Amino acid sequence: MNTCPEHIVHYMHAYLDGDINRDEERQLNEHLDKCSACSEIMAGLSETVAFMELAKPVQAPEGFVEGVMQRLPKEKSQVGIRRWLRSHPLLAAAAMFLILMSASVFSSYGNDQQFSVSKQPNLIVEGETVIVPEGEVVRGDVIVKNGKLRVEGEVDGNIIVINGSKYMASTAVVTGTSEEIDRAFDWLWYKIKNTVKDVIPSSLKKEQPVEE
Amino acid sequence: MDELINKRINEVLKGDQSAFEEIVTLFQHRLYHVCFRMLSNRQEAEDIAQEAFVRAYMNIHTFDQKRKFSTWLFRIATNLCIDRIRKKKPDYYLDANVPGTEGLTMYSQIAADGELPEDVVERMETQERVQYEIGRLPDKYRSVIILRYLEELPLKEISDILELPLGTVKTRIHRGRGALRKQMGNL
């Protein structure tokens, strides 16, 4: 082996690193063919490399990531809120919507304490009591806000009483549905339904409030 | 991949710590693997690999996003590993005489308990044996051999990670391979 030129060992490594040119490779092969000592070294090196490549990757233990995160210095809380908003955009938008909606709806609920009734010619209004007279047919929906409704005749439509009470005589006939809305929640629901109905064109006639 | 990482890095730079979690998740196994191979000890590997991530987080503003993040991360980790190996080493000279003996040096002491008898080595499983042989390499060869053959990185990247000229990396790989061949002898 001492007689072998030093560049041969160099070529062996160059070969293993994959940066050998054709001429060098030819010289290396020629030498290995006639020198058993060098071809033994070459075989040993190749085996070593092959053996190293048998090493399997080792996985980080469980909880590794959490461990790192715990070791990090604490971040500022302001960032936390911003990130929460960013990571839950829908939730944030919904919350914002609800806050604004309830503000406007509840304020109008408070302002809307006046007595009003839908305008039909044959309705009788006595104080805060609205009467559907016996023998008469009232066409269209009857809506009473902040007042009482007595039905003695016939209503060809729906009856809606908001913040009030309703009395149905034995002679009363209602072709549509009849609902009473008392609590703020019901009222909110009614408002939402109406908004939807307003947005989507429908045949529903708008109520026309009458001042007492 | 690089784009995603840079995006997360920018989020971290803005102060969003949780963006870093994704980075850790992406690189945890590779980084742990290198540390484990360098240190041959699971506990230490976990500690050093986690420390490397913490350092990366603290110094993220110094990372140049035109470069490869993994290279930067590996550099931090290999430096920490080399520091740890140096600290573990006893601070006496190997060729100093053992007190109370004549002509007995530390070399012979190390040889007595640092190297395992041949038949024990031969009975080792492949994975155990690979680790054992890597562990016996001098540290300057160990890091290049690990990066080259276990991480399968190109020479250029190894030279970037270790901040060594390409020629030095090649020489170390050659010597490391030679040393492995000699220490393994008969496979």
| List of long-range contacts for A136-141, beta carbons under 8 Å, 24+ apart | A140/A205, A141/A176, A141/A204, A141/A205, A141/A207
Residue B28: predicted pLDDT: 95
CATH of the domain at B69: 1.10.1740.10
Q: pLDDT by residue (tens digit) across A163-185?
A: 788 888 888 888 888 887 776 66
B18 has pLDDT over 80: yes
> Is there a contact between A69 and B21 if contact means CB atoms under 8 Å apart?
yes
Sheet with A137-139: list strands edge to edge.
Answer: A137-139, A154-156, A173-174
Query: How high is the mean pLDDT of chain A?
Result: 80
For A2, how many CA atoms within 13 A lie in the half-sphere containing its CB?
Answer: 0
Asked if the structure places residue B61 within a domain, the reply is: yes
Last residue of a domain, one of B69, B88, B107: B88
Mean per-residue pLDDT, A65-77: 84
Q: Are residues B16 and B64 in the same domain?
A: yes
Asked if the structure places residue B11 within a domain, the reply is: yes
A157 and A175 in contact (C-beta within 8 Å)?
yes
Mean per-residue pLDDT, A41-50: 91
Three-state SS letters, chain A: CCCCCHHHHHHHHHHHHCCCCHHHHHHHHHHHHHCHHHHHHHHHHHHHHHHHCCCCCCCCCCCHHHHHHHHCCCCCHHHHHHHHHHHCHHHHHHHHHHHHHHHHHHHHHHHCCCCEECCCCCCEEECCEEEECCCCEEECCEEEECCEEEECCEEECCEEEECCEEEECCCCEECCCEEEECCHHHHHHHHHHHHHHHHCCCCCCCCCCCCC
B153 has pLDDT over 90: yes
Q: pLDDT by residue (tens digit) across B73-94?
A: 999 999 999 999 888 765 555 5
Mention every residue, 6+ apart, whose C-beta is less than 8 A from residue B144: B158, B162, B169, B172, B173, B176
Q: Are residues B70 and B143 in the same domain?
A: no
Asked if the structure places residue B119 within a domain, the reply is: no
One-letter amino acid at B3 equals E
Last residue of a domain, one of B42, B71, B88: B88
> Is there a contact between B33 and A57 if contact means CB atoms under 8 Å apart?
yes
Residue B120: predicted pLDDT: 76
Q: Are residues B11 and B77 in the same domain?
A: yes
The pairing of beta strand A178-181 with beta strand A173-174: unpaired
For residue A43, the chain B residue with the least C-alpha distance is: B181
Percent of chain A with pLDDT over 70: 82
A168 and A90 in contact (C-beta within 8 Å)?
no
Residue A109: predicted pLDDT: 59
Asked if the structure places residue B13 within a domain, the reply is: yes
Q: pLDDT by residue (tens digit) across B109-138?
A: 444 445 667 777 777 788 888 898 999 899
SS3 B186: coil
Q: Are residues B61 and B129 in the same domain?
A: no
> Is there a contact between B173 and A47 if contact means CB atoms under 8 Å apart?
no
**CB-defined contacts A:B, below 8 A:** 111
A9 compared with A186, residue with greater pLDDT: A9
Asked if the structure places residue B39 within a domain, the reply is: yes
**Which residue range(s) make up the domain with B34?**
2-88
One-letter amino acid at A181 equals I
Nearest residue to B184 via CA among A17, A44, A56, A12: A44
B44 compared with A79, residue with greater pLDDT: B44
Asked if the structure places residue B130 within a domain, the reply is: yes
The interface predicted TM-score (ipTM) is 0.78
For residue B154, the chain A residue with the least C-alpha distance is: A17
The pair of three-digit structure tokens given for residue A202, joined into one six-digit string? 């429908």
By Cβ distance, the residue of A45, A47, A52 closest to B149 is A52
For B164, how many CA atoms within 13 A lie in the half-sphere containing its CB?
Answer: 19
Asked if the structure places residue B74 within a domain, the reply is: yes
Residue A84: predicted pLDDT: 72
| pTM across the whole model | 0.59
Q: Are residues B76 and B131 in the same domain?
A: no
Nearest residue to A127 via CA among A146, A141, A112: A146
Residue B115: predicted pLDDT: 64
| Domain count within chain B | 2
Q: Give dist(CA A119, CA A139) in Å, integer.
A: 10
Give me the count of residues in chain A. 212
A97-111, A144-158, B109-123: least confidently modelled range? B109-123
A162 and A146 in contact (C-beta within 8 Å)?
yes
Residue A80: predicted pLDDT: 63
Q: Are residues B77 and B26 in the same domain?
A: yes
CATH of the domain at B142: 1.10.10.10
Chain A positions touching B143 (Cβ under 8 A) are none
Asked if the structure places residue B162 within a domain, the reply is: yes
Residue B112: predicted pLDDT: 44
Last residue of a domain, one of B35, B66, B88: B88
